[in-house]
Amino acid sequence: MLYYNSKQLSSSYEFGKQLFEKIHQQKSGYQPLVFLCIGSDRATGDSLGPIVGYKLKQRRLSSAYVYGTLEHPVHAKNLNEVIREIHDTFDQPFIVAIDASLGKASHIGYFTLGEGALKPGAGVGKSLPQVGNLYITGIVNLSGFLENSLLQTTRLHTVMDLADKISTGIFYCLAKL
């Protein structure tokens, strides 16, 4: 897993380069690229995915599909249904899953890029299906104590900064694909 500090000016660029490399190495040419942005707009700390999805949808991407926005969030209650819809709609989709996460105090404001499936809800004790060929997480708050409460009181500035950096990196990546 790779970590990026959202406070560093080059973080979006470095992230976008690595995202491009990983997609280029793993995705077959015929596989449709899907960004699955997971979270809810009802808790600030959980809104990273829908905000990134909103930013991606605003660009009207021609080379990728986006599920999970502020208008139509993908969350614990509809995740199974949306995963099924993606697989019914696309033949062997290449899914990049995006979600907020909790971590150490020193990692708040960092975002990650990893290979394999994302385990949404793991930080708050939810048992949800794993999804994705790659995953992107933004560390929005501390883990280890009253996680659900922390998601409610997470600073919107932290979430927006992460969403800006992640979406900018994705735009950079898609420009190279």
Please name the helix (run of DSSP H) or strand (run of DSSP E) that holds residue 36, with its range, or none.
strand 33-37
Q: CATH number for the domain including 116?
A: 3.40.50.1450
For the chain, the domain total comes to 1
pLDDT of residue 146: 62
Is the pLDDT at 123 greater than 90? The verdict is: no
* Amino acid 49: pLDDT: 98
DSSP H stretches of helix in the chain: 11-26, 48-58, 79-89, 147-152, 156-176
Pairing of strands 65-67, 94-103: unpaired
Domain span holding position 89: 2-176
166 neighbors 111 (Cβ within 8 angstroms): yes
The whole-model pTM stands at 0.95
Contact between 53 and 69 under an 8 Å Cβ cutoff? The reply is yes
Average pLDDT of 77-83? 97
pLDDT at 147 (0 to 100): 63
Describe the crossing of helices 156-176 and 11-26 by its angle, rounded to 10 degrees.
Answer: 50
